[in-house]
Structure 1
Amino acid sequence: MAYSWDNRVDFIVRFLYDIDNNGILEKHDFECMALKMTLIEGKGEFSYGRYQENLHIMLSLWEEIAELADFNKDGIVTIAEFKEAVQRSCVGREYRDFPQAMKMFIDSHFKIVDLNDDGVIAADEFRYNCVTRIPVDNVNILDEAYQNLLNDDDRRRGGLTLSRYQELYAQFLGNPDENCPAVHLFGPLHAMD
């Protein structure tokens, strides 16, 4: 099922963390992610200071993931190891109870999606973020996923604030219910092979 907990965790690994698409997580993925985040935040412009901040966040995330999930201490984290670590550290927990580096990643990811830096992820920003990651052939599918995320407060505000994004991200990883609104956080998911 596309919105099962297993598939959502597979999605996180494959589309957010495994930058070189080799099926495993390693330090290099997080170094690449730091540069990617810096360039996306700068809309192509490179800021060395911002890069250093992103590199610190990404290497901290890698170290935390390796500590939690690299069970055989070989310097790589498999999808199975990652799932086991997420199961132990995220399922049934709220954002505030997540590992610190993961919270820093979630907050940094919000900044990437919030293109105009107004503190709210609007529909156009959500659409843009989705199509940079997944194949979509109909904008209505993206709009439906976005609307499924929103509660009444989100609609009044015109989108998702950081605190609401944190809540949804925590549910995406931590709530095994396939029908919770958070399953739509990254747009329409497809079943991973």
Structure 2
Amino acid sequence: MAYTWDNRVAFVVRYLYDIDNNGYLDAHDFQCLALRACVLEGKGDCSAARLQKSQHIMMSLWEEIAQLADFDKVPDYDGMISVDEFKQAVKNSCVGKKYEDFPQAMRAFIEANFRMIDINSDGVMGVEEYRYDCVQRMVVEEIKVIDDAFNSLLNDDDRKLGGLTLSRYQELFALFLGDTSEDCPAKHLFGPLEL
């Protein structure tokens, strides 16, 4: 049950977007995500130019999500996106689609997220970077569980390169959101999920 489509999308809300952990998405989450992205991508540096770029990406993503997902916005738009509203938006805009067909701001977020995970900026997310990303979000008792999850994502080309390139990460992210099967090949993209 941990890898159902519903649980995977709920994971995205809870661990990638709902930065203040209040159970719904709003503009505040994306303002905070912009700062997080700036600091992480800059390895601690947060120049005004980098922050402005991050703010543009994250606020564009928020506006796009709000447009796609806040179905109760008329006439009493509450400025908040529930998990169910987000799931419906993902179902409408991502299920069964390739990465290129995802909404533009979501693609920009996915690319920014990869750059945050790629700590050494070599263009490949290796096992160490994957581990680091996983343990920031979840409690895991054994490193083998994380390593097994990482290895399940790799194809032969990935193994030769030592991890996931941006294009491969994009492909897997599209599957994570767009493939509704419980045995989705990208189900471990963010590590071993819990219910």
Partner-residue secondary structure (3-state), 2:164: coil
Is 1:89 the counterpart of 2:101? The answer is no
Give the number of equivalent residue pairs.
191
Question: For each residue in 1:123-153, what CA deviation from the matched residue of structure 2 results, as whole angstroms up to 9, or x when unmatched?
Answer: 0000000001111111000000000000011
What is the alpha-carbon distance in structure 1 between the residues aligned to residue 166 and residue 44 of structure 2? 23
**Distance in 2 separating the partners of 1:103 and 1:189:** 23
Looking at structure 1, the residues matched to 140 and 37 of structure 2 have their Cα atoms a distance apart, in angstroms, of 22
SS of 1:54's partner is helix
The alignment status of 1:150 with 2:154, answered yes or no, reads: yes
Residue 42 of structure 1 and its aligned partner are, at CA, apart by: 2.0
CA distance in 1, matches of 2:22, 2:180: 26
Identify the residue that residue 134 of structure 2 maps to in structure 1.
Answer: 130
Are positions 1:171 and 2:175 aligned together? yes
Instruction: State the distance in 2 between where 1:42 and 1:84 align.
Output: 34
1:101 aligned to 2:80?
no
Greater displacement, 44-53 / 2-11: 44-53
Q: Which residue of 1 aligns with 2:19?
A: 19
1:70: which partner in 2? Answer: 70
TM-score by length of 1: 0.97
Determine the C-alpha separation between the residues in 1 that align with 2:181 and 2:6: 11
2:98 and 2:6 mapped to 1: Cα distance? 18
Q: Deviations over 1:61-97 (max 9, x none)?
A: 0000000001112211111100000001000000000
Which residue pairs with 1:118 in the alignment?
Answer: 122
Q: Distance in 2 between matches of 1:158 and 1:19?
A: 30
Equivalent-residue separation in structure 1 for 2:64 and 2:189 (angstroms): 23
Q: CA deviation at 1:47?
A: 1.5
CA shift for structure 1 position 181: 2.1
* 2:54 corresponds to 1:50: no
Query: What one-letter code is carried by the residue in structure 2 that aligns with 1:90?
Result: C
TM-superposition CA deviations, 1:156-178 (whole Å, max 9, x none):
11110000000000000000122
Which amino acid in the other structure matches residue 3 of structure 2?
A: Y
What is the CA-CA distance between 1:28 and the residue it aligns to?
A: 0.4
Using the size of structure 2 for normalisation, the TM-score is: 0.96
SS of the counterpart of 1:71? Answer: coil
Name which of structure 1's ranges 176-185 and 121-130 shifts more when overlaid on structure 2: 176-185
The question of 1:59 aligning with 2:63 is answered no
Counterpart of 1:36 in structure 2 is 36
1:4 matched residue in structure 2: 4
The worse-fitting range, judged by mean Cα deviation, of 72-81 and 7-16 is: 72-81
Identity between Structure 1 and Structure 2 (%): 60
